[in-house]
Structure 1
Amino acid sequence: MSSAFSLSRARDVAEADQPTLAVRDAEFARAVLEGLADKPRHIPSRFLYDEAGSALFEEITKLDEYYPTRTEIALLRAYGDEITECVGPVETLVEFGSGSSRKTRLLIEALDGLETYVPIDVSESFLAEAAEGLEADFEDLTVRPVVGDFTKPRDLHGIEADQPLGFFSGSTIGNLTHEEATDFLANATRLLGPGSTFLIGVDLQKSLDILIPAYDDARGVTASFSLNLLSRINRELDGDFDTDRFAHRAVYNPRQGRIEIYLESLADQTVHVLGQRFDFAKGERIHTENSHKYSIEGFQDLARRGGWEPAEVWTDKAALFSLHLLRAA
């Protein structure tokens, strides 16, 4: 079966009921088929976050080994008033890759004059749940969710926002290559507009005895999160991956300054996706995710290339994590 036929099949199946879903399914099918056919093999990290993957990631954020979430939450609690003072009154908050919006509550509570919250995320179920909870807890807040890939150029679908504050938490920007991160920041500049500000969580460089366990925890939750990608392929793209014959691998690439995540074949084996055959040798890997670690100066240089001017930065005492406030240049 040819790739073109397979992609057409994926598109036809998806379009049967939901046009919006059809576009996402076709994109997933194309990325998987092209990525598995390439050498080295790769699948973009954004496809880790289906409903099951998003739930598993929320579990990861609560693990003892996973320092970014609790450290960022502590920074928001400690410096919320200072952040608000630096930003000034804000009517609209736009969050990229919002997930469950757990950390956003701290920012919403701190901001002066906030009227509208616009979360952008690929997980429709997480957006709906977060919107319902936030509107129940903040009576004067209007929540306007946008379902989609926050890394792509977009508009706010008629939502008027005068000098909004952008929020990008969890060091998700570290999942992007430096080129992708620069493009994302440039797109955010155009989306948020002149006079806007941007608060971004950025993970900092640190020793491997802290880094590696954060991406390969003792309970195996991160492994389940990675392997769910293969289960998703089985569910949505007629795949036949045996997840017991693949393993989660987290390695540090010192030249790139990043953690790299792979799914490694534990045996010589053959798998099928949408009728296409893919042969794996024992030890062969699928690259699924990067997590870049920055110095403060290194990230500020990246921000400038994306059209933002660094304004303030806050870090914890152990220098594990940082919050950067940027202004549109």
Structure 2
Amino acid sequence: MPLQTQTPPFIQLHHEDRAAMRAELVAGLLETPANIAPKFLYDALGSRLFDAITELPEYYPTRTEAAIFQQHGADMARVVPGGSILLDLGAGSCAKAARLFPVLRPAAYVAIDISVDYLRDTLQQLQKQHPALAMLGLGMDFSSRFALGADVADWLADGPAAQAPRVVFYPGSSIGNFNPKEALALLKQAHAVCRSGGQGGGLLIGVDRVKPQAVLEPAYDDALGVTAAFNRNLLLNVNRVLGADFAPTAWRHVGLFNARLSRIEMHLEATAQQTVRWPDGERMFAQGERLHTESSYKWQPEAFEALLQDAGFGRARHWSDAQGWFSVFWAPA
């Protein structure tokens, strides 16, 4: 592994295709019911609003997962191999992984996100705090395909950690944004990445669990309206990307638990009949018609363990909070 400077290297595998993004948006808007992919929630303002959501009293996942890591970190370190290459999916600010460095003791850290722009400053500061830890920023849309390219393989191969175990770290219950079929496909790809390194690799993943509706729904529809602002900001992002004319004030945020599908759904509901236009297209929305913007699936531990086995992982174990609201799973590859 090459000696690290104060500026970790970055590899950009994902390149924004504006035409493809516009085509994806139009296709979703013309479907019945209309929908917009949740990735469009996370422009610069949307990312900041989500950070604010994690501080809300109603939003339990972030603090509950953090408490699990704090309480059970030493036990996790007994099964998660030290000296591994830690691959952080959806790394964002890298804060969750960084808190685990003293416990998991990785030999190298790869921060993966759809764009490295958000990672650069954070990773540079993190490198100064951990100068002996090899770090790499990787721009990748792993929701489409999770596989390490030749450039990443070359970086990993250049040193004594080349055959280190590979540990995929996917915290925050983000796996819930995928339906079960999509989640299985991603987990199979994660299993292949884990198996591509030295023996002992595996997956460390945060999973939100099924719980009472009275707990779930306020987490996605808070009293201050921060989640509502986060959801409506998506329309401003669509206006920029597509050239549309959504009026965010004409839409009401809806967050509800769909018990049949075991998922939270976020929608935007038209408060009056309106026609939304974009270059070469338009759609009329009736009053009360909804635009689906995000789903967050909730899992029972036994069902998620079965999903991990279907993806090829070995016998998993998990740690939870006292209330059984959230679990962190370790699945050996």
TM-score for both structures, normalised by structure 2: 0.88
2:67 aligned residue: 74
State which drifts further: 319-328 or 117-126: 117-126
Partner of 2:190: 188
Residue pair 2:243, 2:278 contacting (<8 A) in 1 also: yes
Within 5 Å, which residues of 2 pair with 1:261-300? 261-300=266-305
1:302 aligns with 2:307: yes
Query: Contact between 1:54 and 1:99, CA under 8 Å: does it hold in 2?
Result: no
Query: 1:126 corresponds to which residue?
Result: 118
Q: Report whether the alignment pairs 1:204 with 2:196.
A: no
- The CA distance in 2 between the partners of 1:19 and 1:77, in whole Å, is 33
Partner SS state of residue 111, structure 2: strand
The question of 1:28 aligning with 2:58 is answered no
Q: Report the 3-state secondary structure (helix = DSSP H, G, I; strand = E; otherwise coil) of the residue aligned with 1:309.
A: coil
The answer for unaligned runs of 5 or more in structure 2 is 1-11, 157-161
**Contact 2:81–2:165 (CA<8 Å) still a contact in 1?**
no
Would you say the 8 A contact 1:68–1:170 is kept in 2?
Answer: yes
Alignment map for 1:199-278 (pairs within 5 Å): 199-278=204-283
Cα 1:190–1:152 change in 2 (3 A) is: farther
Q: Hey, what does 1:3 align to over in structure 2?
A: none
**In structure 2, what is the Cα distance between the partners aligned to 1:204 and 1:40?**
27
Give the distance between the partners of 1:62 and 1:28, measured in 2 at CA: 31
Aligned residue for 1:63, secondary structure, equals coil
Aligned AA (1:285): R
Shift of 1:21: 4.7
Aligned partners of 1:90, 1:166: CA distance in 2, in Å?
13
Counterparts of 1:192 and 1:245, CA distance in 2 = 46
Do residues 43 (structure 1) and 48 (structure 2) align? Answer: no
Matched-pair contact (CA < 8 Å) for 2:14–2:114: no
Alpha-carbon distance in 1 for matches of 2:277, 2:315: 48
Match of 1:137 in 2: 129
| Runs of 4+ off more than 4 Å | 18-22
Count, aligned residues? 309
Of the three residues 99, 104, 109, the one matched with 2:102 is 109
Aligned partner of 2:134: which letter?
Answer: T
**Counterpart amino acid of 1:200?**
I
Find the residue that maps to 2:327 and give its secondary structure: strand
* Unmatched 5+ stretches in structure 1: 1-17
In structure 1, the residue matched to 2:168 is 166
Counterparts in 2 of 1:76 and 1:22: CA distance versus 1, 3 Å: closer
Secondary structure at 2:78 match in 1: helix
Q: Output the CA distance in 1 between the equivalents of 2:293 and 2:258.
A: 14
Q: Report the CA distance shift for 1:88/1:191 in structure 2 as closer, same or farther (over 3 A).
A: closer
Question: What are the Cα deviations for residues 44-65 of structure 1, in whole angstroms up to 9, with x where unaligned?
Answer: 1122122222221111111111
RMSD: 1.8
1:50/1:123 contact within 8 Å kept: no
- What is the deviation of 1:258? 0.8
Greater Cα offset, 47-56 or 195-204 = 47-56
Q: CA deviation at 1:221?
A: 1.0
Give the residue type in structure 2 aligned to 1:270: T
Structure number with greater CO (CA < 8 Å, separation at least 6) is: 2
What SS is found at the alignment partner of 2:227?
A: helix
Going from structure 1 to structure 2, the CA distance change for 1:294 and 1:108 (only over 3 Å counts) comes to same
Render the CA deviation track for 1:123-173: whole Å, top value 9, x for unaligned: 433211321221121121222111121222231433325321110011000
Give the TM-score normalised by structure 1: 0.89
Distance 1:19 1:91, change over 3 A: closer
